[in-house]
Structure 1
Amino acid sequence: MKRVAVDLHFIPCLEFFTAVVDADDILISPNELYQRQSYLNRTRIRLANKVETLSVPIQGRRPRLPLNKVSIDYSQNWQKIHVRGIQSAYGKAPFLNFFPYLEPVYGKKHASLWDLNYEILTICLKLLRCSGKLTVCQNLDEEQVDLDIRGQIRPSSSFLERELYSPVPYTQLFGSDFEPNLSVLDLLFCMGTEAKKLLLSSVKN
């Protein structure tokens, strides 16, 4: 039984999913502290001319708070910006029919960043047909795990520095050069039901 401890990212990247795609147990904790400059409130998608970062604004400048205490700033119009950006990026994608599973999330006002990320990860795991169970723990440091990637996957460092993800190119919508390690949305909308197979082949040996 493979148990993996992770940070609860917002629409995680492919590197994240290569770590959990074959896990039996995916361990997360609402008591893990919010990290600045992290993927806890951002994800990356590919537009026609660039890679765009979609961010979820939070209340407070530098909250050293558990993730379930971090409030989302709904005074900003980020939800419409995200939906518009996703539709612009993937409007012609072969598997855009997966988006209706995620779009209703943008119509809600989640109590915390933890609640938003938890719902999105649950949906993504189902769309990828991953059988791993999401297990909420109060203290991950007390759990026995086979892999602990907390704090490792960050915007400031490349996946090349870690032993998790070996990119397998797939057909993306824009440009001839493959852009690795984008949001899992890119893989789902471009590859559909083949997404899990590609993730498994992207696990670094």
Structure 2
Amino acid sequence: MQELIIHPSYFPDVISLIHIHKATQLAFEVHDSYVKQTYRNRTNIAAANGKLSLNIPILHQKKGHSVPYKTIEIDHSQSWKSNHLKSIKSAYYSSPYFEYYQDELEQLYEDIPELLLDWNVKATMFLLEQLNIDKEIRNTSTYSNDSKAKQLITAKAKQTIILDPYIQVFQEKHGFLQPLSGLDLLFNLGPAAGSYLKSQHSKI
């Protein structure tokens, strides 16, 4: 695989991270339209009651019009930031590596941009840095209409990839859950996450 085009998402899921890990270069699609039911404003974690979706509220623009993703603003009037942090901490405080990354995660949430795209790029870069994934990254100059990028960003897309299980919190209660945010991989595997991602290259 050469260059991978992705729509920046709210903490990319593990399957997206496998694609990113395998790619030699990465391009952020920044000329697309905002689409609902995608990972642009949501991410999934493994909570005590099963898979939990964390959703970022946005300021809605005129209906019936195609709205550029890069113009979508986060609705900061809602207390989503503190709620998401509490949910992540509640879900992963007992995981092997949460305390190791907790300070950096809380620091990330201290400065959230106005635009959803900017925040998602920041959240994606945080994950890549913590996972030691170093790629040459660029922004697209025009809309690419890349089919793989659209599949990876679609929350309701049918999952055709069956990942090898890794130890998750609450696994005895709910079994191995996927797709989940890369935070799940980071907090459960820590420094071994990169080796896991590499081991899954043949799945994609």
TM-score normalized by structure 1?
0.89
What is the SS of the residue equivalent to 2:73?
Answer: coil
Corresponding position of 1:167:
163
Structure 2 CA distance for partners of 1:193 and 1:109, relative to 1, 3 Å: closer
- Contact (CA 8 Å) 1:44, 1:52: kept in 2 or not? yes
What is the SS of the residue equivalent to 1:43?
Answer: strand
What is the SS of the residue equivalent to 1:151?
Answer: helix
Bigger drift between 100-109 and 48-57 goes to: 100-109
CA distance in 2, matches of 1:80, 1:192: 24
Residue deviations 1:128-171 (CA, integer Å, cap 9, x gap): 111212211221439xxxx85221022212221xxxx4401111
Bigger drift between 12-21 and 100-109 goes to: 100-109
TM-score normalized by structure 2?
0.89
Which 4+ residue blocks in structure 1 deviate beyond 4 angstroms? none
Q: Structure 2 unaligned runs (5+)? A: none
Corresponding position of 1:50:
50
Q: Structure 1 unaligned runs (5+)? A: none
- Greater per-residue helix proportion: 2
- Contact (CA 8 Å) 2:30, 2:143: kept in 1 or not? no
Query: Where does 1:22-171 land on structure 2 (aligned, <5 Å)?
Result: 22-60=22-60, 64-96=66-98, 97-141=100-144, 149-153=148-152, 154-160=154-160, 165-171=161-167
Structure 2 CA distance for partners of 1:148 and 1:128, relative to 1, 3 Å: farther
Structural RMSD (CA): 1.9
Residue deviations 1:78-108 (CA, integer Å, cap 9, x gap): 0000000000000111111123222222222
CA distance in 2, matches of 1:139, 1:186: 33
Q: Percent identity?
A: 27
- Contact (CA 8 Å) 1:4, 1:148: kept in 2 or not? no
Aligned length: 197
